[in-house]
Structure 1
Amino acid sequence: MQDAQTMCSICCCPTVKILMIIFMILLIFAISFGNSLTLAVVFGSKHFHTPHGYLKASLAMADLAIGIFVVPLSVYAEMTLLLKDSAPGWIVYNSQHTHFHPCTFIGPVFAGCTLVSITTVFFLTIERSIAVLKPLHKDAVITRRRTSMLIIFSWMGSFFLALSPMIFSNEIALQYNSCSRMCNYALKTTTLPSQAWHILLLFPVFDFTLLIGTIITNIISMSTIRHHSKKRKHLARAGCHSASGPSFSDIKAAKTIGAITLVFTASFTPIAVFVLGNVIGNEWCIFSFFAFWILTASSCWNFIIYSVRDQKFRVRARQLLSSSRIKSSPQISEK
């Protein structure tokens, strides 16, 4: 277990600590702004009141929760360690600690929202693949009611899985990790109880299973899109028009989900590697810091990808921002 002497495991330099705090604060604003605007676009425009829009909103809510709950605790902990000589009791793990530990709440929130994100990306991929592979059956198969049920199931299932280490094992604890600068699950002892490390492996197994399924589905969708594009070009040269196949909006949305999948794959892979290494006894302190914060930073990438690739989303976001400026300008002039 880690103690107060390992709190500077990455670097004790105050300048580096200040830079880390600034990065965390900027990340809070980026995650909160991007995902709040995404929710405003989805719920504020009838065009996005679709199953695809609901899944986007679910993903944005999971990412927003990370920016509101998870990152601020890390900022508070790092500022406390920077300004005080000794670390608060909740930061230094103590098996006899009887008071409320913030990580008891923040840890499952981080794990649960992360699992919700990867599950939602998987559902988005399936939804787009149906639109591409079976465009005529899309509206019959993908309904708002079914999508809402899937969203509820993903949140319940993800948080149950996030809480499973605390429910099914006494050998696993939540603590503020001095390496990752986050609340993480860790083994209470240096030995590896069979039940405990099997439970910890649930996270990378679940992540990789969904990621592999998402990647394979995206490959099938992209292959189908490529086939239809070639077919349309051939018919256009012959002076004919094809009424079958996915629409251009469905194709563009599928490519957008493909870009999101690449970001999530790049973000989740270091975490999965770290968990596997941690289970076999490797600490990998510096690697764990970058792995966890790359994953956290991915919470603001969805908004960036939507803004770049989705023209309707970009236009609606600009309208919301411009309208908010217009409403605030009279108040400024009156003053």
Structure 2
Amino acid sequence: MIETSTLSMLDRTEPAQCTVCCCTLVNKILMVLFMVLLTFATLIGNLVTLAVMVGNKHFHTPQGYLKASLAVADLAVGIFVVPLSIYVEVYLMVAESAPEWTSYNSQSVRFHPCNIIGPIFAGCTLVSITTIFLLTIERSIAVLRPLHKDSVITRKRTTILIFLSWVGSFLLAVCPLVFSSEIALEYNSCSRMCNYALGTIGEFPSQAWNILLLFPAFDFTLLGGTVVINIISLSSIRQHSKHRKTLAETEIHTTSNPTFSDIKAAKTIGTLTVAFTASFTPIAVFVVGNVLGNEWCNFSFFAFWILATNSCWNVIIYSVRDQKFRLRAHKLLMPHRQNTTKT
């Protein structure tokens, strides 16, 4: 969710730039409405996911733990990141001027909200990418080495990996602020979010450049590895499907093949990977544009908010791909209908 923010340095004496999202009153209202709907969708969807994962023993598995961790990361975006943008934009509409702190970066004032929100957004994005990678590894073992699945993938090991992913992700999120005095956080008038930026006006320092590259380097490497592993797993699933047909015709049975539920879960994780890759791609394009010296103000808004919408997609994917999750979620949301059906 935040990986590399705007590298452009804004002149604090100029008014906020007029972007496609906020040039007119109608556009501003639509933008705020979109942010509010996104907040509710993210909160409700991920709370339902957590309730299903925690409240049903069927989901007390390594895969369930990882999905719960992903839901917590997405939930944090809905609780902390998007509401701050809503506050700023509503304040701007009512007072016809943005809050004073948005005119300065985190190095210019004693307390800046972006000092909290920026690392949260960055850390949760990194947690999401890491968790999807771990889910892919877990499913690939279940598909490629089904006999070793229970001995290799345990709840204890999964819990440790989840803890390490959260610690490592947030350490990486604060690295730019810790290791470079030239990097600060600011509320960017283009993306309408808290982004990393240069804290001083002047020539772009090479050290700050190298530190900011940690984000795309980490993300692209992990996401690329996730895609490759998914391709290998899905290719193996296709081969198993052919073998199943052959075994069905010859009436030969074997226990060395992955179960139907493992195969279906692997396809679900593949869908999660595709959704996250699609939402992250605009950020990748934006980073390349920044490297080439383009600010792309309008595009930065769409890039960052497309990535933010990914926080509410997971519950939809689970509901479509996982029948057991869908039934549990339906029972949770409509208990009265369930009771009426039984009677």
Which TM-score band applies after superposition, normalised by the shorter structure? over 0.9
Amino acid at match of 1:293: W
Q: Does the alignment pair 1:302 with 2:314?
A: yes
Runs of 4+ residues over 6 Å off in structure 1: 324-327
Selected match of 1:5 from 1, 6, 15 = 15
Amino acid at match of 2:137: I
Quote the Cα distance in structure 2 between the aligned partners of 1:314 and 1:20.
31
1:59 deviation in Å? 0.2
Name which of structure 1's ranges 302-311 and 232-241 shifts more when overlaid on structure 2: 232-241
Amino acid at match of 1:211: L
Q: Which has the higher contact order (CA 8 A, sep 6+)?
A: 2
CA contact 2:69–2:131 (8 Å) conserved in 1: yes
Selected match of 2:135 from 124, 128, 131 = 124
CA contact 1:180–1:290 (8 Å) conserved in 2: yes
Quote the Cα distance in structure 2 between the aligned partners of 1:40 and 1:27.
20
Q: 1:247-258 to 2 correspondence within 5 Å?
A: 247-258=259-270
Amino acid at match of 2:335: S
Quote the Cα distance in structure 2 between the aligned partners of 1:228 and 1:212.
25
Per-residue CA distance 1:244-300 (angstroms, 9 max, x = gap): 200000000000000000011111121122123224432111111111001000011
CA contact 2:119–2:173 (8 Å) conserved in 1: yes
CA contact 1:232–1:242 (8 Å) conserved in 2: no
Q: Does the alignment pair 1:174 with 2:185?
A: yes
Cross-structure match for 1:16: 27
Per-residue CA distance 1:59-106 (angstroms, 9 max, x = gap): 000000000100000000111111113222111125763231111100
Gaps of 5+ in 2: 1-8
Cross-structure match for 1:332: none
Cross-structure match for 1:109: 120
Aligned residue for 1:165, secondary structure, equals helix
1:190 deviation in Å? 4.6
Q: 1:75-90 to 2 correspondence within 5 Å?
A: 75-90=86-101
Amino acid at match of 1:299: S
CA contact 1:197–1:279 (8 Å) conserved in 2: no
Compute the RMSD of aligned alpha carbons: 1.6
Cross-structure match for 1:333: none
Q: Does the alignment pair 1:187 with 2:198?
A: yes
Cross-structure match for 1:60: 71
CA contact 2:105–2:184 (8 Å) conserved in 1: no
Q: Does the alignment pair 1:275 with 2:275?
A: no
Q: Residues 94 and 187 of structure 1: is their aligned pair in 2 closer, same or farther, counting only changes over 3 Å?
A: closer
Cross-structure match for 1:147: 158
Quote the Cα distance in structure 2 between the aligned partners of 1:61 and 1:326.
28
CA contact 2:63–2:138 (8 Å) conserved in 1: yes
Aligned residue for 1:176, secondary structure, equals strand
Quote the Cα distance in structure 1 between the aligned partners of 2:215 and 2:107.
27
Quote the Cα distance in structure 1 between the aligned partners of 2:154 and 2:251.
36
Cross-structure match for 1:226: 238
TM-score normalized by the length of structure 2:
0.92
Quote the Cα distance in structure 2 between the aligned partners of 1:94 and 1:169.
15
Aligned residue for 1:90, secondary structure, equals helix
Percent identity of equivalent pairs: 68
TM-score normalized by the length of structure 1:
0.94
Cross-structure match for 2:248: 236
Quote the Cα distance in structure 1 between the aligned partners of 2:160 and 2:284.
28
Per-residue CA distance 1:165-210 (angstroms, 9 max, x = gap): 1000011110001111100001233522111011111111111100
Per-residue CA distance 1:87-140 (angstroms, 9 max, x = gap): 221111257632311111000000000000000000000000000001010000
